[in-house]
Structure 1
């Protein structure tokens, strides 16, 4: 006689198979949960490493930009001492032009200023402009003219790459 389905389900082999399935199911669940946890930890680690990489990359890029700016400024101002040494020569030419109004001297000065301007040297416009303490140094005062304006330029000033190399020495109108 054959066992009924309910009797068959209670046989020791069947009971053991059921228990084995349950154990396997629990083991698989634990393995799945463990894999999920490890996967989550790996994603966190990847995220942290990516953030650290991006921060380091940004730091390196900023460092490179700073160094590039420093090199550029060094290049721009490398000739500062040489150009500063030329200023007395320009002053002498200007004084000779004032004394003699020689067109040859004017051409020489203009040529020299043209060459020096390629290296960033530019004369400061003073006469007739409003007094600017960053560009002008007062060496005298007059009452003749509009208050706060530069009346005369005693010595020409120059800028080098947008920085003041030497201020203009000026006489300012003060009432």
Structure 2
């Protein structure tokens, strides 16, 4: 080193040595980058496959969701067909058949989590399950059910149709 050169100033000898020292580090970094890039691409492909499979499952679930309900309805249809096939049945026989068919229908609905909302007279009005058609002056507690005009239905605890009711008016 000459007297004029600063100790931190690179010399031709140190310049040549520097790339040789970083070359293994650069190779390691490039190898690691290639590894991470490959892992990223694989993870991205796997996520896309999972999304595609989930979409297919949802599509199948929608397509066949009604299958269980339809199977439960078939005996009801069979009973109705049997009733139609007997035009000579008496009124009592037809009525008995209608009651039996209704029981089958109610049972099929219950198996598929469709339940009646049929509030008793005097039950407190619930706007989440009842729809008030009118308010009438009545004895007893205000805002209670006076008459049920039409039953409502729940499906898996969600209101399918609210019960139509008249409600006692406040005095």
TM-score, normalising length: structure 2: 0.54
> What is the count of residue pairs matched by the alignment?
131
CA distance in 2, matches of 1:71, 1:130: 42
Task: State the partner residue of 2:129.
Answer: 135
Deviates most, 47-56 or 35-44: 47-56
> After TM superposition, which residue ranges in structure 1, 4 or more long, deviate above 4 angstroms?
77-80, 102-108
Q: Give the counterpart of 2:163 among 165, 168, 175.
A: 168
CA distance in 2, matches of 1:104, 1:151: 32
Q: Is residue 124–residue 135 contact of structure 1 (8 Å, CA) maintained in 2?
A: yes
Shift of 1:40: 1.0
CA distance in 1, matches of 2:123, 2:156: 21
CA distance in 1, matches of 2:158, 2:62: 11
CA distance in 1, matches of 2:157, 2:57: 19
- Residue segments in structure 2 that go unaligned for 5+ positions in a row: 1-12, 77-94
TM-score, normalising length: structure 1: 0.53
Shift of 1:117: 1.9
Structural mapping, 1:1-175, within 5 Å: 26=17, 30=20, 33-65=22-54, 67-69=56-58, 71-76=60-65, 108-127=101-120, 128-144=122-138, 145-175=140-170
The structure carrying a bigger helix percent of its residues is: 1
- Residue segments in structure 1 that go unaligned for 5+ positions in a row: 1-21, 87-101
